[in-house]
Amino acid sequence: MQYLLTSICSLCMVYSGWFIDRLLGKEKRGKWLTSGVLLLTLALVATLPVYGTSYAPILMTTIILYIILAVSWTMFSGPTGYMSLATAAFFGVGIYTAAFMAGDFPPPVFILVGGAASFILALGVGALTLRLRGIYFAIFTFGLVELIRHVLAFIELHVTGTRGRFVFGVDNETIFYYMLGVFVLLMITAYFLNRSKFGLALRSIGEYEAAAAHTGVNVTMVKIVTFAVSAFFMGAVGAIWATKLHYVDPGIAFNPLFTFIPVLMAIFGGMGLLYGPIIGAAFFTLLKEFLTTTLAKYGLGELYMLFFGVILVAAILFMPNGVVGVIQRLTQKWRKGGPVEEHADT
């Protein structure tokens, strides 16, 4: 039952991404009608705790977490082509912020502070590194994850003398709504970012950075600010996620998988449109849940990474533009060879 409900809710979230893409596209017909549908779909997701099983909002929380990580990663790396591997760093900063604050402050405060801490960190890191390109930038951002993890481990060991941190729990329903709230905020931000001159500048950087600079775009500033905005969302959901973990230490908070999994999700879904990473995140989260639980009952649970690997290899070989690319091709065929609708990058 939870698969059905969470799949429907995931489709609703895909729809919300598609709706934003549509708003940004040239197609003007029926937007008011689709906005009404958007309202209904979001209401369907928001009321999941009312009509769903007790576990459905918990699973949906995990799905939304990965959606936010994948979309916020795509927000920067998609249009610019800069491969950031710092997701786990910003996510971990959010987790540790909650670990420090959760007992003394209400969730909205530590979620905002978690996001702000990641934002500020990304501003600093971006200012230092966004002049680097290609593999150098990717390596530096991944190094950031390790750097912060080891610095925190050192502090825990030698300064505070602590051994990880207990994180005060928040009930599952509240976590779900905060996660959903951050998702809505992310969608709105993505819309404004793409619609603005800022978004145009960002896309121009991805297409030809030197040309963008010659036309007067302050490329460094645009990259840094976008990098920081995407980091804000990663930090905010990290702070929310920490309340589910109950215990964190540097190894748990700065787990490199939180860098790689959202990237793989975005690649699978397709990075050209907003709803692509949403499809990838929802699909992989549900697939993992199915493989590690339902298949585990038949002794096949350990095969989940093998499944992941095969699907990703197949996706990269046969769907270079992800699921979104396939959908676009099918749509084109359906329209009997008509031109593919132009979409703005996320």
Partner 1 sequence: MSKRLLLIPLALLLVFSLVAVSCDGDADVTTTPPPTETTVPPPDDYDTRTSIVIGAARPISGPLNMIGDYALGPLLDIWVDQINAAGGLYIDEYDRALPVELIIYDDTSDLGTMTTLLERLILEDQVDFIMPPCSTAFLYAAAPIANEHGYIFLGGEGGCTTLTALLPDLPYVFGVLNYSDYHQIPALADLFVEWGVETVAYIYIADLHGIEYAHTSESEFLLRGIQVVYSEGVPPEAVDLTPQLQAAMNSGADAFCAYTYPPISIFVYGQAMGLGYNPDVFVIGPGANFQFYYAAFGPMTEGLIGFGAWNRQTSPEANALVDLMVAATGDAGLALYGDEEGFLDWWGQLFYYGALQFFEQAIVEAGTLDQAVIRGVMATSTFDTCLGPTWFDMRDGGGGLLALECHPGQVGQWQNGIYEVIGPAANATADAIYPKPPFPAP
Minimum distance from CB of 55 to partner 1 (Å)?
A: 4
Q: Of 212 and 239, which has the nearer Cβ to partner 1? A: 239
Tokens representing 10 are 């995931």
Residue 58's closest CA among 244, 248, 319? Answer: 244
Rounded distance, CA 209 to CA 204, Å? 7
Count residues binding partner 1 (CB under 8 A).
Answer: 67
Q: Which of residues 108-147 bind partner 1 (CB under 8 A)?
A: 108
Rounded distance, CA 177 to CA 152, Å? 30
Q: Of 23 and 122, which has the nearer Cβ to partner 1? A: 23
Q: Of 60 and 217, which has the nearer Cβ to partner 1? A: 60
When binding is defined by CB under 8 A, the residue of 29, 163, 197, 336 that contacts partner 1 is 163
DSSP per residue, 83-124: ----HHHHHHHHHHHHHHHTTTS-HHHHHHHHHHHHHHHHHH
| 297 binds partner 1 per the rule CB under 8 A | yes
Q: Of 136 and 166, which has the nearer Cβ to partner 1? A: 166
Rounded distance, CA 230 to CA 71, Å? 9
Minimum distance from CB of 193 to partner 1 (Å)?
A: 13
Residue 238's closest CA among 331, 121, 83, 330? Answer: 121
Task: Name the DSSP letter for residue 246.
Answer: S
CB 56, CB 8: distance < 8 Å: no
| 170 binds partner 1 per the rule CB under 8 A | yes
Residues that bind partner 1 (CB under 8 A): 2, 23, 31-32, 35, 38-39, 42, 46, 53-55, 58-59, 62, 102-103, 105-108, 150, 153, 156-157, 161, 163-164, 166, 168-174, 177-178, 180-181, 184-185, 187-188, 191, 241, 243-252, 255, 257, 288, 292-293, 296-297, 301-302, 304-305
